[in-house]
Structure 1
Amino acid sequence: MLPWLVRARCWQQARPWALAWLLGCCWLAAQATPPAAEDTLVTTASRPAQFLHGRFYSVLEDSSNRLPLRLVRSPAYASSFATLAGTGRPANNHHPRSTYWLRFTVRPGLGPATDWYLELYDPHIGAATLFRPLAGGGYDSVMTGANLPFATRPQPYKNFLFDLPRHAGAGPATYYLRLCSDSPTSFRAMLHSGASLIPQLGLQYWLLGGFYGIVLIMLVYNLFLFFFLKEKPYLYYVLYVLSGALLFLSEDGLGFQYLWPDGPGFNHLVGVAAPVLLLLTFSQYARTFLETSSRQPRLDQLIRWVVGGSVALLVFDAALMHSGSGFWLYLLPYGLLYYAAWRVWREGLAPARYLLLAQALVAASLIFLVARKLGLEFYNNAYTVYSLNVAFVVEIAILSYALADKIKSLMDTTLRTQHRLLKQLRKRHRAQELLVEKLHENQALKDQLNTELEALVARRTDELRQQNDTIAAQNRELLETNSLLALQSAAIEQLNRNLSREVQDQKEARLEAREFDFGEFSQLYPDKDACLRYLADLKWQHGYHCRKCGHEKSCEAREPFARRCTRCRYVESATTGTLLQKCKFPIVKALYAVFLLHAHRGRFAPAELARVLELRPATSWSFAQKVLAALQRRSQAPDYEEGEAWTHVLLDATAELEVEELPGVVEQA
């Protein structure tokens, strides 16, 4: 029993060293194991589309860029091909200066023979040459690439598509693919059956067409909003959507296929410049939308420096380094912008939550893009390949809604402020009405006192007249009483005059300060004829003067209150030469709008004016701008007097010229 315990204790102490020795032997054995050959890809009708995994091809790096196919097929180089499956290496070429050879073998399966096609997903490969075996021996080659015009491609498709010819009774066929590019590219490829290729490609084009249609609709819609509202965030949003569309046109190959097929150099420039433009436009949009310059000035300064530095490094990498890992430089600026959105949202800017949501969706879809850039086999299917397109569409829709929500909140704040001001004005008008009522009560008391005093004086006078003959001794006292009464009467008369003057001043002040509502104003000018009659009397109060020939005699025309020149027969309506010329809404409302803007010295909101007159906001705003311009010109006139009547504005001589030069304003009204 004791020896067994001793051996067990010794084994327990030596077990860690034995385990380490065993792992080391396994590692050396793995290093000594020659690279495994690629598996043969079997084509069957049951699998019309097969992804070219790392185990189905082997890679040879040619650093000299001079190896021909004859040497690549020789035994000396054939043993140098190595598969990437199980090695942990990504399926990318990390040395842009080298040429990479890919070898894969395809064997037809059971079932009817059909055509097969090889699709390369990376549209930025500079030169791609496929060497295909011939039936009688030897190889032919098909060459294309991003450095060549689009017409050189064997198939008119956005990606590189090669046909794999079939030979009757042939066995496995080995193909060689030569890839050469000045930037890191990936080896992602798919083998398609000819029967399912056309429907699949058609579906992709339909989906991409829908994607770009949605992008175009959002772009045009927000561009019109920018022209109408003059808000800079809408312009930055449009530029951001344009940059994103340019990036996607470069990444999916549709831009090279349809927009610049004869410009491979321009296609490369777009692929380099589009991500930089996307970063610049999005950072400017986010900073303007979040108002970081006023809400977070230090963080805004940091974002500007980080974005500028990232753009400089991206340009440097694209021009000189060609590392292909420039997408890592986007993490810091986008992370800072996301943090700024979170800070601003915590401070109370509610629309910032939409920016957080949109960027979270894009970040989730970028996981698949980064995996493909690194060559990782991570859910490579149609949903993950186009997940960034879906995320971008959802993002621009959310950001557009966020802009609308922000503008709406600003308008709601403005309307609430205007409502508070209106309540204050109503309270002030109520106080004035109470004051006037008090003055009326004082006037009634004064009239009653005067009546009583007059009756008392008359009665006293009769008594004195009757007693005048009989009471001679009280003559002096009566005279003194009459003197006192005379003084009292004079004081009362002076009080009456002062009160009358105060009441008159209060009436004039109320007439100047009171804001007539539309009902009271309609009682003064009940219909169109009353308004035209008032304009005609106001316009020709100093006599008629023809606007064409200067003649001073006229007669009535067919139109109500119009004048016809007796010399040149020119007909001039009552509204010609006034602010109401070519007015497209009721003239009573127009007169009331001029009265309101003049009474408030132009400080009357167009939105409130539209509500009071029941007009469209655009019509109210356009007419208000016209009246405000007339008020400004009147205030600069030499004969302008402070507090003058509002009728001077109606006869503004410049209004007709503005209407003739800007007919679009009147038509819009």
Structure 2
Amino acid sequence: MILRHEKNTQQLKVRKTYQIYFLFITLVLFTTGANGNSKQGTKIELNGNISRVFVNTSFDFFLDTAAIYSIEEISQEKFQDHFQKVTDPHVLYDYLNSPIWMRFTIQNNQSISDYSWYLESWGFDIKNITFYFPRADGKFESSTAGFEQPFDQRKISHKNFNYFLDLRPSETKTYYLKVKRNYNQEFIFHLRTNEKFLAHSLNEYFLLGIYYGVLTIILIFNFYLFYRLRDTLYLYFTCLIIACIWFSLGRDGLGFQYLWPNSPWVNKLANEYFIELIIILSTLMFSDRFIQKYTKNRKVFTLTYWAILFKLLLFLNQLFFFELNYIHYLVITIIILLVPFSLGLFALMRVKIYSWSYIFAYACLFLVIVYSYSKSIQLFNNPVLNWYFVYPVIFLEMILFSFSIFNQLKFLQNQFLEANKERTLALENNNLLTQELNSKLKEKVRARTEKIEKMAADLAQKNLELETTNLKLQELNDQVTQSNNYLQENNAVLQTSVAGVAKDLALMKGLDFLGFKNVFPDKDTCLNFLAELKWKDKYQCKKCEYKKFTTGLNCGRRCKNCNYYESPTVDTLFHKLKFPIEKAFYILYLSNRKDVDLTLNELSEILELRRETCWAFKNKISQAMEKVGHNKELNGWETLALVNLE
């Protein structure tokens, strides 16, 4: 996300001026050296019991514009007058392609013999840095590392550049550094004893561990939410967290140390336009999805994807075409984020949703972008705090975005509860209507039964009268006998129809589970009904095709020829049923009703069955409907009972 250099065209304009100025200064230095007026080099003195020294500008430098000098030439006595005193932590603001030689002269005035001093260059993104420390024979030993060098070349495995000075009490040594930069970066150097170096490193790694640990927990939680809910909101937020972690790993050097130590090219990928592009795109998509879950707003959706397109075009322009000044690039980036955010915020306000955590999280994102691009902002005197300032802001951003997600989950849960309440009221009203309809049907059945009983009594009375007058009406005996037989047949039909009415009611729409259970109270009733339904036309043995049988156990049919027994459930929807058949009858009965739509949880509670069992049998019913092209308006539920799915 941090831009490594400013606009190239602007650098070319000022470079000539700096070159002329530098040549003039070099000429003056050579003239001064020829007259014997050599400069006294900057010296760092270690006095008393100090254990840490900040030496940001306590060194001298020489710009090797042609990159032709070696350490042997640089370290010569006659060359020392060419070095200049450093007055600014950036050393130079130009000549990015030329190496800078730095000279440290350290005088140890301490009497403490167990101090081991280290030189630390803070800021791992130096392109190339070679440290030269003197040996006893007057020559120098080198150690090369850098942003573009494999990590295992370092003698001390640390994200910063650390070098052991081997400086004893009363010794004075001069050390050299050869540095190549990627951009006009600020150089930060510390001298620390071994104890201070270890304490600082452990504290820094401990705090970074907490930072990455919390972000990793948030990442895992949101990935779990995406896996369980399949909502792209959590996928976009997961991408945003990964991008921020990647940005942080590239910024502090831990990624180079632990994740890609042998792939220095990843450092450039992690610290320039690419990771900044991922952060902004994932933020835009997360923001759009966040808004759409509250209110479906087509304008926010359209504007968000236009912003994504503009950001991609800006990214390609910076890489391959006309590179903008970093201030212009920053302003355009902020506008790309701000426009869809403002419209989305307005859409939330229209539906009276005020997500303050979402607003402050976006503010943190803007702060990170502005602070990362604006290298001149120095909020603290400590450069380490200035560098790590974005970390607590990113941390706060992730926490606030998480809070906004939790608030949205609570909002959606409340909506779900309200919908369930409305659905429950609708079901209660439907049940009341069903009960009222059942009462009316029962009243009609009772009235019809009384009428039938009365008719039966009248017929019996007339039969007695006919018998008493039989002798008188002998000539009409044949006619009366035929009438009497006809009346007896009607009486038998009317008597049996009382029992049939209840079953006919079950085949109609309008019974709850208790009413249905009165019609089909047990397994035998259901099996008997299924047997009558299955063999209502004729019976024929499956093995020998014989058509005579005896009724066996559980209302089955046993062939009189080959003794083959066939259960009523064979070749039906209830074959190999694992739970009571009367409950399966009720599920099948409900499947043909359009006025009742129970959820699996409600059906499971009514029938006292597991939810998975209800779902499996309902799925089986759906397959049967699809197989026979069942029509709820034209067909009764009993037609599905004889569907064979095997």
The TM-score, its normalising length taken from structure 1, stands at 0.65
> 1:570 and 1:189 mapped to 2: Cα distance?
96
Give 1:420's aligned residue.
Answer: 422
User: 1:338 Cα deviation (Å)?
Assistant: 4.1
Is 1:534 equivalent to 2:536 in the alignment? no
User: 1:121 Cα deviation (Å)?
Assistant: 3.1
- Paired residues in the alignment total 554
Q: 1:599 aligns with which of 593, 615, 622?
A: 593
Map 1:429-578; keep pairs closer than 5 Å.
429-430=431-432, 512-514=508-510, 516=512, 530=522, 534=526, 538=530, 542=534, 578=573
Q: Is the 8 A contact 1:555 1:563 kept in 2?
A: yes
Give 2:99's aligned residue.
Answer: 99
Per-residue CA deviation, residues 228-272 of structure 1 (Å, 9 max, x unaligned), is 222121222222222222222322223222332222223433434
> 2:122 and 2:49 mapped to 1: Cα distance?
23
Per-residue CA deviation, residues 359-384 of structure 1 (Å, 9 max, x unaligned), is 3344556676456x447473436665
Per-residue CA deviation, residues 418-448 of structure 1 (Å, 9 max, x unaligned), is 4324424433554565677789999999999
> 1:288 and 1:168 mapped to 2: Cα distance?
65
Give 1:347's aligned residue.
Answer: 350
Give 1:631's aligned residue.
Answer: 622
Please, which moves more after superposition, 386-395 or 237-246? 386-395
Q: Counterpart amino acid of 2:232? A: K
Please, which moves more after superposition, 254-263 or 105-114? 105-114
Q: Is the 8 A contact 1:158 1:253 kept in 2?
A: yes
Per-residue CA deviation, residues 458-509 of structure 1 (Å, 9 max, x unaligned), is xxxxxxxxxxxxxxxxxxxxxxxxxxxxxxxxxxxxxxxxxxxxxx999989
User: 1:127 Cα deviation (Å)?
Assistant: 0.8
> 1:550 and 1:398 mapped to 2: Cα distance?
76
Long gaps (5+) in structure 1 = 1-31, 449-503, 657-669
Give 2:171's aligned residue.
Answer: 170
Q: Is the 8 A contact 1:341 1:355 kept in 2?
A: no
Give 1:212's aligned residue.
Answer: 212
Q: 1:83 aligns with which of 83, 86, 91?
A: 86
State the identity as a percent: 21
Give 1:128's aligned residue.
Answer: 129
Q: Counterpart amino acid of 1:265? A: W
> 2:446 and 2:588 mapped to 1: Cα distance?
37
Give 2:382's aligned residue.
Answer: 380
User: 1:283 Cα deviation (Å)?
Assistant: 1.5
> 1:92 and 1:293 mapped to 2: Cα distance?
53
Give 2:397's aligned residue.
Answer: 395
CA gap 1:358/1:522 in 2 versus in 1, 3 angstroms: farther
Please, which moves more after superposition, 374-383 or 391-400? 374-383
Q: Secondary structure at the match of 2:211?
A: helix
Q: Secondary structure at the match of 2:268?
A: helix
Per-residue CA deviation, residues 88-111 of structure 1 (Å, 9 max, x unaligned), is x85785553232333444333535
Q: Counterpart amino acid of 1:212? A: Y
Q: Secondary structure at the match of 1:599?
A: coil
Q: Is the 8 A contact 1:287 1:293 kept in 2?
A: no
Per-residue CA deviation, residues 502-554 of structure 1 (Å, 9 max, x unaligned), is xx99998998453626x65666677xxx4697369638963799999999999
Q: Counterpart amino acid of 1:336? A: V
Please, which moves more after superposition, 61-70 or 224-233? 61-70
Is 1:289 equivalent to 2:290 in the alignment? yes
Give 1:248's aligned residue.
Answer: 248
User: 1:62 Cα deviation (Å)?
Assistant: 3.9
Long gaps (5+) in structure 2 = 1-24, 30-38, 451-499
> 1:117 and 1:300 mapped to 2: Cα distance?
55
CA gap 1:95/1:236 in 2 versus in 1, 3 angstroms: farther
CA gap 1:134/1:446 in 2 versus in 1, 3 angstroms: closer
Give 2:465's aligned residue.
Answer: none
> 2:116 and 2:354 mapped to 1: Cα distance?
54
Give 1:225's aligned residue.
Answer: 225
CA gap 1:50/1:604 in 2 versus in 1, 3 angstroms: farther
The Cα RMSD (Å) is 5.5
> 1:215 and 1:571 mapped to 2: Cα distance?
65
Q: Secondary structure at the match of 1:279?
A: helix
Q: Is the 8 A contact 1:429 1:514 kept in 2?
A: no
Give 1:357's aligned residue.
Answer: 360
CA gap 1:328/1:515 in 2 versus in 1, 3 angstroms: farther
> 1:49 and 1:302 mapped to 2: Cα distance?
54
Q: Secondary structure at the match of 1:56?
A: coil
User: 1:391 Cα deviation (Å)?
Assistant: 3.8
Q: Secondary structure at the match of 2:171?
A: coil
Per-residue CA deviation, residues 184-238 of structure 1 (Å, 9 max, x unaligned), is 5442333332123234323433443443343333333322322322212122222
> 2:352 and 2:571 mapped to 1: Cα distance?
50
Q: Is the 8 A contact 1:157 1:257 kept in 2?
A: yes
Q: Secondary structure at the match of 1:96?
A: coil
Per-residue CA deviation, residues 584-641 of structure 1 (Å, 9 max, x unaligned), is x99887765555454347854456556767889xx46x95486257326505524656
User: 1:330 Cα deviation (Å)?
Assistant: 3.9
> 1:220 and 1:422 mapped to 2: Cα distance?
36
Q: Is the 8 A contact 2:531 2:556 kept in 1?
A: no
Q: Is the 8 A contact 1:90 1:376 kept in 2?
A: no
Q: Secondary structure at the match of 1:129?
A: strand
- For CA contacts below 8 A with separation 6 or more, give which structure has more relative contact order: 2
